[in-house]
Structure 1
Amino acid sequence: MKLAVVGGGSTYTPELIDGFARLRDTLPIEELVLVDPAADRLQLVGGLARRIFARQGHPGRIVTTSDVDAGVADADAVLLQLRVGGQAAREQDETWPLECGCVGQETTGAGGLAKALRTVPVVLDIAERVRRTNPDAWIIDFTNPVGIVTRALLQAGHKAVGLCNVAIGFQRKFAALLGVAPVEVHLDHVGLNHLTWETGVRLGGPDGDDILPKLLAEHGDAVAGDLRMPREIVDRLGVVPSYYLRYFYQHDAVVEELRTKPSRAAEVAAMERELLTMYGDPTLDEKPALLAKRGGAFYSEAAVDLAASLLGNGGSPHQVVNTVNNGTLPFLPDDAVIEVQASVDRTGATPLAVPGLDPLFSGLIANVTAYEDLALKAALHGGRERVFKALLAHPLVGQYAYAERLTDSLVAHNREHLAWA
């Protein structure tokens, strides 16, 4: 079995490598190719990756290359984890929206749109290369904004499934609070990427007893603390929202918070410099503890599980993924991409049935889906007016004057990445 990781020079990658090494019985990789244009980073990450495999006795071969075509050739699955523009672009995404009093964040709001515009054309070019060299390969997208990027891939006819680590993070946290094994916890997880709610927590599978009320009654403070939300919000909702819902439920407070501290991008950039220094140590043969602060917790377990199922090597029967709606949420277009529990096998991901949703949740999902549709059109076809309309439709922007000003800022800060600008 051959897997390729595009964006393999990321400081995330040792987390992925560690999972591949530990879970080699689930996903028996014979060759792993790390693809990245940044040769210096790739050399450091690739060296550590080989040492991790050696330490854990993994027999697989790790190859590094900057040649996408060569890297993805004959791959059974291709994982995408790229960041177009690097942390410098992320720093901009997180700062210029604050000038209008809007949330500055890399996956939602104006910053998220900027990232989508930079990313979608690049991902589609990579996917076409995969299709030319190996049309049977699965594409697993971890590149944000996952929902929009996965929708672009699916609309272009690619074999793609989107992946996020939010759900597996909740599963692990809830299991720890309940004192059970993670495999025993099944989430009724519904929404869009980075706009989701856990409407039920079941033991033993999708038909198990819902213990969410008990979980919130006994551990509500811990759950709310992880979300960085007041417990009152969680109690009144009666569900567990993704922590990204902070940007919607506490918008103005979050803006003030973001204005008074260094950006997350600046923190991550400093962390990456330290990590890369560590990766260059020839005696290091395991992922360093600092990597846990970088983000992407449990990404490797989720990626292994998904790849194993798509390639017919087992994997969990039900997994939270980003896939095409196809009537699962009847208030959305069939071609929308939703993030829900799905049955995953060689044929792809088929969403499980979702009970009717409270309008409190379905209304916001519908609103953001409309924005994502406009955002994808802007990413595919360009043009200032398309960017403006996407911003005007986003519930974190929504005002004409803000949309006008943010459109100018977005174009000014991303001109080098926008072929039409």
Structure 2
Amino acid sequence: MKKDFIKIVTIGGGSSYTPELVEGFIKRYDSLPINELWLVDIEAGREKLEIVGALAKRMVKKAGIPMNIILSYDRREALKNATFVTTQMRVGRLPARILDERIPLSHGIIGQETNGAGGMFKAFRTIPVILDIVKDMEELCPEAWLINFTNPTGIITEAILQYTNFKKAIGLCNVPVNMIEGFSKMLNADENDVTMEIQGTNHFIFATDVFVKGQSRFEELLEKYANLTKEDTIQMKNFVSLPYSPSFIKGLNAIPCPYHNYYFFTKEQLEEELEQFKTGTVRGEVVYKTEEELFEIYKQEELQEKPEQLSQRGGAKYSDAACNLIQSIYNNTGDIQYVNVKNNGAISDLPQNSAVEIACRITSDGPKPLSTGNLKLPISGYVHMIKSFERMVAEAAVTGDKNLAIAALNLNPLCPSDKIANVVIDELIEAHKDYLPQFK
């Protein structure tokens, strides 16, 4: 897809992640010579965009590359003739995330921004906006690729597949990148030599094989993984991963991603979150303070590079994964990456037209999913349940069907009671009513 002029548009440009994105593009400039990087935000995000945009310009100047940084509050103007569009937005900003966490916890169920009730309402706020962006892209840059790393990316990819005819959307997550990093250490192998077979949906994937230079090392890895201590588990910034019993891992014959802690250690995760609820330290509240500190650092005019403190923000590596994906599409590299795309038979017993997170070869025609056959028996029922939940949430986000939303939350393993599902959904709809016109 070589083009003489590369224009990348980042919607949610005022995000604290943007310096990592800019750093990634600078590092890859020789193979991805971007002419224009448009950072787009809404008027309410003006202050953050101005701060991040100024830092981005200083970073590019220091690097000595002719990448033009353009700040914009006009999405349609920015999208004209884009080559790639990335989305990293948060509808309702961090106060909405805090409500997604605190309201469920006030009723004794897990509050988390991508799983259960919290993930559902982040999807409800975000999907209509994403579908509007897709509509604009079909008109203004129909050849551009959409790289979405707004959460919950799997449900958002599902909505694009079910409710648009747009063929060039890819969902991205940093969890597989963290898994590869962790597996590489366990196998004492170079990260660049490690690939995996995965089955499932976003934040609900299982590694079912792992390769070093194309040779399976899964049995060795499974044995090591079954005997991890708490200190050795693959950790995310936003929660503590607990080690599984050897019996469970060996019986599963697959390695869960870190987010499975919410499902397989629900009691322990809920206890921890309820303690955070009491002390005003749920993850959204912690991130709110972290972001305040980051933006004070970003303001420093002598700062000309991504600060180390950004690594404390939960989504580190999202942006680097996005840069890798864009570079690979642009250069038709054929390397393996882990993305959310249309299934197309890659997992035989999931719906063909549904979104899965899976290993793909990345080409100039986009990701080509690597076939894995049927879901492995021990994980099959769970993956089908979560996939149904995602499809119901996507439909409710588009239709505003509250009854469907209640049924979806009831079917999610994190919800213990129909009564709680009704109360939590009523309270979250009321709390987010300014961002949920479809439910009025």
Which bin holds the TM-score, normalised by the shorter protein?
over 0.9
Structure 2 counterpart SS, 1:266? helix
Please list, as runs of the form range in 1=range in 2, the aligned pairs for 1:330-409 lying within 5 A after superposition.
330-397=348-415, 399-409=417-427
2:40, 2:241 → 1: CA distance? 36
1:330, 1:209 → 2: CA distance? 22
Structure 1 counterpart SS, 2:233? helix
Aligned counterpart, 1:161: 170
1:289, 1:398 → 2: CA distance? 40
By how many angstroms is 1:387 displaced? 1.7
CA contact (8 A) 2:349 2:375 kept: no
The alignment covers a number of residue pairs equal to 418
* Structure 2 unaligned residues grouped into runs of 5+: 1-5
The match for 2:316 among 292, 297, 320 is: 297
Please list, as runs of the form range in 1=range in 2, the aligned pairs for 1:3-402 lying within 5 A after superposition.
3-37=8-42, 38-155=45-162, 156-158=164-166, 159-205=168-214, 208-214=215-221, 216-217=223-224, 220-221=228-229, 223-224=232-233, 226=235, 228-232=241-245, 233-234=248-249, 237-261=252-276, 262-311=281-330, 313-397=331-415, 399-402=417-420
Aligned counterpart, 2:7: 2
2:313, 2:397 → 1: CA distance? 28
* 1:253-281 Cα deviation digits (max 9, x unpaired): 21111010211101100010011111111
2:183, 2:194 → 1: CA distance? 8
Q: Which amino acid aligns with 1:86?
A: R
Structure 1 counterpart SS, 2:71? strand
* 1:179-238 Cα deviation digits (max 9, x unpaired): 432210001222100001122221113xx2224524642883354363621242545544
2:259, 2:224 → 1: CA distance? 22
Q: Which amino acid aligns with 2:87?
A: L
Q: Which amino acid aligns with 1:388?
A: I
CA contact (8 A) 1:391 1:398 kept: no
2:318, 2:117 → 1: CA distance? 26
Q: Which amino acid aligns with 1:228?
A: S
By how many angstroms is 1:316 displaced? 4.9
CA contact (8 A) 1:22 1:56 kept: no
* 1:3-49 Cα deviation digits (max 9, x unpaired): 11000100011111111111222322111111011111111001111
By how many angstroms is 1:398 displaced? 5.5
Q: After TM superposition, which residue ranges in structure 1, 4 or more long, deviate above 4 angstroms?
A: 233-236
2:374, 2:137 → 1: CA distance? 38
1:400, 1:249 → 2: CA distance? 21
* 1:314-353 Cα deviation digits (max 9, x unpaired): 4452210000112222222112100010122222222101
1:136, 1:292 → 2: CA distance? 33
CA contact (8 A) 1:7 1:83 kept: yes
Q: Which amino acid aligns with 1:15?
A: E
1:355, 1:385 → 2: CA distance? 34
CA contact (8 A) 1:33 1:65 kept: yes
CA contact (8 A) 2:40 2:78 kept: yes
Question: TM-score normalized by structure 1?
Answer: 0.94
Change (3 A) 1:70 1:249: same
Structure 2 counterpart SS, 1:34? strand
By how many angstroms is 1:101 displaced? 2.0
CA contact (8 A) 2:210 2:217 kept: yes
By how many angstroms is 1:410 displaced? 1.9
By how many angstroms is 1:400 displaced? 1.8
Structure 2 counterpart SS, 1:260? helix
1:215, 1:403 → 2: CA distance? 37
Q: Which moved more, 1:316-325 or 1:5-14?
A: 316-325
